[in-house]
Amino acid sequence: MRIGLVARFLGEPIGLGTYSVNLLRALDRREDEHEYFVYTPTWNDVPSLGPRFRVRRSHALRGSRAVLTLWDQTLPAVAAAREPVDLVHYLHPASSPFSVGCPVVVNLLDAIRWVVPGYRLPYPYDWLERRAVRRADLILTLSESARSDIERVLGIPRGKIRVTYLGGPPLDSAHYSEQPSDLAASCESPYFLFVGGTEKRKNLATALEAFRAIEGYELRVVGANKASPVHDARREQSGVRWLGYISEPELVELYRHATALVFPSRYEGFGLPVLEAMARRTPVIASDASSIPEVARGAAILVDPDDVAGLSEAMRRIASEPPLRAELVERGVEVVSSFNWDETARATVAAYEELLLPRTDS
């Protein structure tokens, strides 16, 4: 097969960028005879890939949503038709308004913009994404929960949606002994970790209320904490440290030395922080909402996202019961080891073959 991959966000420090880079690398590791043509703007960083991959760069004005949307609609489709390819896969929710002469696969990582108030894109971008999803021959998403939301809110037939789970981070060794970084060890008090800042759907408000009942610990909050349409205003509270944006290595260190991750999010398409904590052998307390139980797979303490008392009790148990912590860490290791990018690539290629093999047989 000759596969065209439209990777507008390749190398960008956002979820779609991380997804694109890891999927390309995993496809490259596969031992198959498929050829891949990667369509990306000129300024994107492309990982080192083998001879089965050919990169096709085209000009787009960086930072302009309108220009990048126009790029989505035109240049990749023209290039794909010129190759030609057997299938085009948009790694984000986009497509061309005209036929590219072959099946089209579109990634829709989640349905947040249609499920959670305040996240809707402005018109016409919302309309374009809806059109791309509805016109696609097949849609790839990150969880069964997201699949159900896409079916429900966009009216997409369930049989047209496939789940390709994300890979987890590399697992820390069993005897990891590196000393804490300055950021992780900057206070004598042990700490719980919250990842997501004041973004409303991450539900920091419940975590802050639950933390009021916890003594002898800090709550360290990573992520944006300025008010916005999708963020709450920052609330100062005793024992809470606001770390804002930090580097990936710093976040890894915070996971490693935290008493537990506290993650009472109301909505996640996948919930990668759950796996990030498990990979660093850190216990997880999370909500029982959306995709989180699906990803945690019984290796976390789950509570209702509105249950302040339940969240406080979970934090107290983690702090005071070493056997419980050890059990959650052990189960978390098993869970995070079951999520890997090679499996993501396998499921993605299986989706391609599902579309193309009937055409070949005919």
As a CATH number, domain 191-337 is 3.40.50.2000
Return mean pLDDT, the chain.
Answer: 92
CB-CB contact of 223 with 293 (8 Å): no
pLDDT value at position 59? 86
pLDDT value at position 360? 46
pLDDT value at position 362? 43
**Average pLDDT of 333-347?**
97
pLDDT(309) > 50: yes
pLDDT(156) > 50: yes
Cα–Cα distances in angstroms (integers) from residue 234 to residues 10, 86, 247, in the given order: 32, 50, 21
**Average pLDDT of 78-87?**
94
CB-CB contact of 285 with 318 (8 Å): yes
pLDDT value at position 23? 97
Percent of the chain with pLDDT over 70: 94
**5-46 confidence digits (pLDDT tens):** 999 999 887 889 999 999 999 999 999 999 999 999 998 889
Query: Quick one: CA torsion of 18, 159, 299, 246, rounded to 10 degrees?
Result: 20
**203-261 confidence digits (pLDDT tens):** 999 999 999 999 999 999 999 988 888 899 898 999 999 999 999 999 999 999 999 99
Q: How far is residue 262's CA from residue 222's CA, in Å, rounded to a whole number?
A: 11
In CATH, what is the architecture of 2-166+340-361? 3-Layer(aba) Sandwich (3.40)
**159-198 confidence digits (pLDDT tens):** 999 999 999 999 998 655 555 555 555 556 899 999 999 9
The residue whose two tokens read 């579109």 is 106
pLDDT value at position 65? 87
Domain residues of the chain, as ranges? 2-166+340-361, 191-337
Of 227-236, 274-283, 339-348, minimum mean pLDDT range: 227-236
Q: How far is residue 271's CA from residue 276's CA, in Å, rounded to a whole number?
A: 9
pLDDT(358) > 70: no
